[in-house]
């Protein structure tokens, strides 16, 4: 019964999505207020029905309803309740429903927090979101319905993939989807502005907090995914340039560019055309990401069983979204003019350069991800593009971005002269380089150019971030007053740029100074790594909720310090019977110790993987700082105050073409 | 500078940037592409020697042999008509087992043995690397049902 209810509400949600797109778009075009008003109600109703539908799916998992094919595939009576709930989005069908539900949530949010938007503009935004939703819901109902019944239900289910039975993996998809789908709001705002011809700084101000929040979720989701890969996959790496990781990274790069470009459009009214294009690209890349993950064209840890009809459907959807939006862009963009003037050396141009670099980075990732697919489709051979390609391309593009991220906040809008700042900047740059040299020489090897460059850059980023804050603060009489008068978006930017420095430090040091050892150890044997002595005490059998594990005991001792015990496991899950490595990690701010069991050998020996990874936590810490900075910016007062003020300004602009 | 000159300067800068990016990208591409070969292609002499590539197939049942006191392991992969011996030192992935489809990265040595630097088996036991599935189909093999291998 619950399954049918879920199916039914899903169909009703599709009808709501159709209503939400047809009436408001027509209403805005013909200026019929009643039609436009349909959007808000239909959007909220759609969200409600989707929530019920998703709730039904979870209920079938909780109740062990194995007559549902999807539940039987991904759950089991032995699966603990927490993972039964999370299993709802553990595979393709359910995760697409989650995608749609999150889109419903964003739609409802837009309908509630839009008091200051003009009716036609809001109608168009909701209409575009409705169109996207219609496409996704059709996709779910036609090719990947999670509510399909199995006429011959099995006695017990096939269990959730053991890799996903982990806290990080239960939270990662919802966060990532909040980000992916959140970019559809920026997309819809851009499309609505193109349709209505009201592309002004008010539009940018409206778009900005939504884009920021989507970006925060995306950042957080990527950080979670990277952290999960680190402790769960047993390889000790934090980023693999796996095509599916790339699929989430490309929208992130473009969304980051979009945030910076929106700032210019809001403050200075410049780059309107470019900003709109970025908004269109960011969401298109999110859809492309969905296509790459869901179509099964990729060899990846994320690739589920492939189904060509699904891939084709998403490909058509992608073509419609990208083609439709670019067509509209081509028709409308030439009419948009930037009425502002700025000099070659100005904050505007530095931000433009940052944008170009970020987009170049995204394009190089896209090339590396799609090239093998294209070659394969053209039957020109099967190739794969490995991490060396991405490292080789990425470092030279990112280096100038880091330099700019330090410079741009210090430079004035419109017309800047280095004259006043030059001396200070040279001293800062010199100081950062000196600090880089000192830290590299102190603890490590001075000849290591990469570390030297990475650390100097991190010092440069933090020094300039703090300096730019200080320069704003000292304009006031007292420091306290200065600190209080800064807006949250200034603090947000500072925090995010500091996060970038923290991230860079982590990448540099863990990349340059990690040590790895693969050894064969018998009980009582000892291996040494970077001054730590690992003693293998032996293996015991332990029984988990739905698995049995062989648990190793390792005593770790640094010099004569007190010993510390690590418990890595090799689990075998009862239902699927496949083995899983659970690494044991001793985390620390300056280093992680990591022990993973390999395979049992003859005579009670085990192959064991040992790592010492300096500063690796800083990578995720930096990501969290960036996300926190974004959140701080999004909570800036002016986005809330602006609503009332902009009300008067947007109405005439929005109704020009209505 | 006149506005026109300024614009030209920006355009020139952009072009230079794009050219550098393309140049870097292409060089990185040239150096880092890994081609996939089936065991049949390798035995036919199509695969390069002294240059890394990827090979894939099913691990031949009964072929896995470990050194008694090191981490070196020998096994063979097959796509039906041909079989390729592989040697690898290190920890094999959790899902590595006889009969499983795997992909391996490495080089062919003078003795015709594939010296692997990496062995990949996928995390979902129902999942077959597409390259391996295609290789098996090409050689007229039935793509095996993984469920049966489990038992």
User: Which of A165, A187, A203 is at the close of a domain?
Assistant: A165
In this prediction, residue A209 carries a pLDDT of 92
For residue A587, is it within any domain?
Answer: yes
Residue A606's DSSP bridge partners are: A521, A600
Mean pLDDT computed over A266-270: 86
Sequence-distant (≥ 6) Cβ neighbours of residue B104 within 8 angstroms = B54, B55, B56, B77, B86, B88, B114, B116, B118, B119, B120
Mean pLDDT computed over A167-172: 88
- Nearest by CB to A578, from B25, B54, B125: name it: B125
Which pLDDT band holds residue A294 (cuts at 50, 70, 90)? low
Q: Which of A299, A346, A368, A516 to mutate to test the interface with B (most CBs of B within 10 A)?
A: A299
Report the 10 Å Cβ neighbour count for A413: 15
- Nearest by CB to A383, from B33, B129, B130: name it: B33
Query: How far is B53 from B56, CA to CA, in rounded Å?
Result: 10
Query: How far is A399 from A379, CA to CA, in rounded Å?
Result: 37
In this prediction, residue B28 carries a pLDDT of 75
Q: What is the pLDDT of residues A99-130, one digit of tens each?
A: 999 999 999 999 998 878 889 999 999 999 99
For residue A105, is it within any domain?
Answer: yes
Q: What is the pLDDT of residues B23-81, one digit of tens each?
A: 877 777 777 778 888 888 898 888 888 888 888 888 888 899 888 878 899 999 988 88
E strand or H helix that includes residue B85: strand B83-89
Domain ranges, residue A542: 515-615
Helices (H), A378-446: 387-407, 418-443
User: Which of A107, A141, A165 is at the close of a domain?
Assistant: A165
Contact A602 B32 (CB under 8 A): no
More confident of the two residues B87 and A658: B87
Largest CA distance in chain A: 83
In this prediction the pTM is 0.89
The distance of A115 to chain B (nearest Cα, Å) reads 41
8-state DSSP, B125: T
Q: How far is CA A553 from the centre of its chain?
A: 36
Among A156-165, A289-298, A433-442, the range scoring the smallest mean pLDDT is A289-298
Chain A residue with minimal CA distance to B65?
A601
Cβ–Cβ under 8 Å, residues A437 and A452: yes
**How many distinct structural domains can be found in chain A?**
2
Q: Which of B3, B12, B32 to mutate to test the interface with A (most CBs of A within 10 A)?
A: B32
Query: Angle at CA A463, nearest 5°, toward A462 and A468?
Result: 100
Query: How far is A374 from A323, CA to CA, in rounded Å?
Result: 19
Which pLDDT band holds residue A615 (cuts at 50, 70, 90)? very high
CB-count burial class (<10 Å; 0-12, 13-18, 19+) for A127:
buried
Which residues in chain A have Cβ-Cβ distances shorter than 8 Å to B10?
A: 344, 349
Residue A398 has pLDDT above 70, yes or no: yes
Residue A507 has pLDDT above 90, yes or no: yes
Q: What is the pLDDT of residues B133-144, one digit of tens each?
A: 766 666 665 544
Contact A367 B25 (CB under 8 A): yes
In this prediction, residue A474 carries a pLDDT of 84
Residue B124 has pLDDT above 70, yes or no: no
Q: What is the pLDDT of residues A439-461, one digit of tens each?
A: 887 776 767 888 888 999 999 99
User: Which of A165, A188, A219 is at the close of a domain?
Assistant: A165
In angstroms, what is the C-alpha Rg of chain B?
22
Give the whole-number percent of chain A exceeding pLDDT 90: 50
For residue A30, is it within any domain?
Answer: yes
DSSP calls for A524-592: T-EEEETTEEEEEEEEEEEE-SSEEEEEEEEEEEETTS--EEE--EEEEETTT--EEEE-EEE--SSEE
Mean pLDDT computed over A214-220: 97
Place of tokens 């990496």: B118
B78: left (phi over 0), alpha (psi -120 to 50) or beta: beta
- Nearest by CB to A382, from B71, B124, B131: name it: B131
Cβ–Cβ under 8 Å, residues A210 and A283: no
Burial B71-89 (b: 16+ CB within 10 A, else e): bebebbbbbbebbbebbbe
Residue B35's DSSP bridge partners are: A383
For residue A115, is it within any domain?
Answer: yes
Mean pLDDT computed over A518-541: 91
Sequence-distant (≥ 6) Cβ neighbours of residue A87 within 8 angstroms = A61, A74, A75, A79, A94, A160, A164
Average pLDDT score over chain A: 87
Contact B34 A234 (CB under 8 A): no
User: How long, in residues, is chain B?
Assistant: 151
For residue A310, is it within any domain?
Answer: no
Place of tokens 């090191």: B70
E strand or H helix that includes residue A501: helix A488-513
- Nearest by CB to B95, from A518, A578, A607: name it: A578
Cβ–Cβ under 8 Å, residues A613 and A512: no
What is the token pair recorded at A650? 């947007």
Q: Which of B23, B34, B52 to mutate to test the interface with A (most CBs of A within 10 A)?
A: B34
Residue B88 has pLDDT above 90, yes or no: yes
CB-count burial class (<10 Å; 0-12, 13-18, 19+) for A47:
buried
At A601 the three-state DSSP class reads coil
For residue A503, is it within any domain?
Answer: no
Report the 10 Å Cβ neighbour count for A476: 14
For residue A242, is it within any domain?
Answer: no
Give the whole-number percent of chain A exceeding pLDDT 70: 94
For residue A80, is it within any domain?
Answer: yes
Which pLDDT band holds residue B13 (cuts at 50, 70, 90)? confident
Residue A251 has pLDDT above 80, yes or no: yes
Which residues in chain B have Cβ-Cβ distances shorter than 8 Å to A601?
A: 66
Among A50-64, A109-123, A415-429, the range scoring the smallest mean pLDDT is A415-429
Q: What is the pLDDT of residues A190-206, one digit of tens each?
A: 999 999 887 877 888 88
What is the token pair recorded at A414? 């419109």
Residue B105's DSSP bridge partners are: B54, B118
What is the token pair recorded at B151? 């038992």
From the list A24, A146, A50, the residue with the least C-alpha distance to A106 is A50
Contact A344 B9 (CB under 8 A): yes
In this prediction, residue B140 carries a pLDDT of 60
Residue A642 has pLDDT above 70, yes or no: no
Burial A86-121 (b: 16+ CB within 10 A, else e): bbbbbbbbbbbbbbbbbbbbbbbbbbeebebbbbbb
Report the 10 Å Cβ neighbour count for A445: 11
What is the token pair recorded at A555? 């005593």
């Amino acid at each position: 019964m619950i399954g049918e209810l879920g199916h039914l509400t899903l169909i009703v949600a599709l009808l709501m999505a159709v209503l939400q797109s047809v009436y408001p778009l027509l209403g805005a075009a013909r200026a019929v207020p009643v039609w436009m008003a349909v959007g808000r109600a239909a959007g909220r109703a759609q969200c409600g029905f989707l929530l019920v539908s998703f709730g039904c799916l979870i209920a079938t998992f909780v109740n062990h309803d194995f007559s549902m094919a999807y539940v039987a595939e991904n759950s089991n009576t032995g699966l603990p309740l927490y993972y039964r709930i999370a299993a709802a989005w553990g595979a393709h069908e359910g995760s697409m429903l989650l995608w749609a539900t999150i889109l419903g949530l964003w739609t409802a949010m837009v309908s509630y927090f839009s008091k200051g938007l003009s009716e036609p503009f809001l109608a168009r935004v909701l209409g575009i979101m409705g169109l996207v939703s219609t496409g996704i819901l059709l996709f779910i109902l036609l090719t990947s319905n999670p509510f399909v019944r199995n006429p011959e239900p099995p006695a017990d289910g096939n269990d959730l993939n053991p890799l996903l039975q982990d806290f990080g993996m239960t939270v990662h998809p919802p966060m990532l989807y909040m980000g992916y789908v959140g970019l559809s709001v920026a997309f819809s705002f851009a499309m609505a502005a193109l349709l209505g011809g009201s592309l002004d700084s008010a539009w940018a101000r409206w778009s900005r907090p939504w884009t920021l929040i989507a970006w925060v979720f995306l950042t957080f989701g990527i950080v979670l995914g990277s952290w999960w890969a680190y402790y769960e996959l047993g390889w000790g790496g934090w980023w693999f340039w796996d095509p599916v990781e790339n699929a989430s990274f490309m929208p992130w790069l473009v969304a980051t560019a979009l945030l910076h470009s929106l700032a210019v459009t809001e403050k200075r009214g410049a780059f309107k055309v470019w900003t709109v294009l970025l908004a269109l690209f960011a969401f298109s890349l999110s859809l492309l990401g969905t296509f790459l993950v869901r179509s099964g064209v990729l060899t990846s840890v994320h690739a589920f069983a492939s189904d060509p009809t699904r891939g084709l459907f998403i490909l058509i959807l992608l073509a419609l979204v990208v083609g439709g939006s670019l067509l509209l862009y081509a028709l409308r963009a030439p009419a948009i003019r930037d009425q502002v003037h700025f000099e070659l050396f100005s904050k505007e141009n530095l931000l433009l350069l940052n944008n170009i670099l970020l987009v170049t980075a995204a394009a190089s990732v896209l090339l590396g991800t799609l090239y093998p697919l294209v070659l394969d489709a053209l039957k020109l051979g099967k190739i794969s593009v490995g991490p060396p390609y991405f490292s080789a391309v990425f470092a030279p593009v990112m280096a100038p971005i880091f330099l700019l991220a330090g410079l741009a906040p210090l430079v004035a809008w419109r017309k800047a002269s280095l004259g006043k700042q030059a001396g200070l900047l040279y001293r800062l740059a010199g100081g950062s380089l000196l600090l880089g040299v000192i830290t590299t020489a102190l603890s490590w090897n001075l000849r290591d150019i990469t570390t030297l460059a990475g650390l100097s850059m991190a010092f440069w980023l933090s020094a300039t971030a703090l300096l730019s804050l200080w320069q704003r603060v000292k304009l006031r009489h007292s420091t306290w007053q200065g600190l209080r008068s800064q807006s949250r978006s200034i603090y947000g930017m500072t925090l995010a740029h500091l996060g970038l420095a923290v991230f860079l430090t982590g990448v540099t040091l863990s990349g340059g100074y990690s040590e790895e050892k693969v050894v064969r150890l018998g009980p009582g044997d000892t291996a040494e790594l970077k001054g730590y002595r690992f003693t293998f005490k032996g293996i015991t059998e332990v029984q988990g909720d739905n698995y049995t594990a062989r648990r190793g005991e390792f005593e770790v001792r640094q010099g004569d310090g007190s010993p510390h015990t690590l418990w890595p496991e090799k689990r075998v899950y009862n239902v699927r019977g496949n083995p899983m490595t659970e690494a044991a990690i001793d985390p620390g701010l300056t280093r992680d110790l990591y022990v993973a069991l390999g395979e049992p050998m003859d005579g009670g020996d085990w192959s064991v993987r040992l790592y010492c990874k300096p500063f690796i936590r800083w990578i995720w810490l930096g990501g969290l700082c960036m996300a926190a900075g974004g959140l701080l910016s999004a909570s800036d007062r002016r986005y809330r105050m602006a609503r009332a003020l902009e009300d008067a300004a947007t109405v005439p602009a929005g109704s020009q073409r209505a | 500078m006149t506005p026109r000159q300024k614009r030209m300067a920006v355009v020139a800068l952009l072009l230079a940037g794009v050219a550098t990016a393309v140049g870097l990208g292409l060089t990185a591409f040239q150096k880092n592409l890994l081609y996939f070969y089936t065991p049949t292609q390798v035995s036919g002499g199509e695969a390069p020697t002294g240059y890394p590539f990827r090979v894939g197939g099913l691990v031949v049942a009964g072929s896995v042999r470990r050194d008694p006191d090191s981490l070196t392991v020998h096994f063979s992969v097959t796509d039906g008509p041909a079989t390729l011996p592989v040697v690898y030192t290190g920890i094999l992935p959790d899902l590595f087992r006889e009969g499983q489809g795997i992909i391996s990265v490495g080089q062919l040595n003078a003795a015709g043995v594939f010296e692997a630097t990496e062995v990949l088996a996928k995390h979902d036991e129902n999942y077959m690397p597409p390259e391996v599935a295609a290789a098996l189909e090409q050689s007229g093999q039935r793509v095996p049902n993984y469920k049966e291998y489990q038992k």
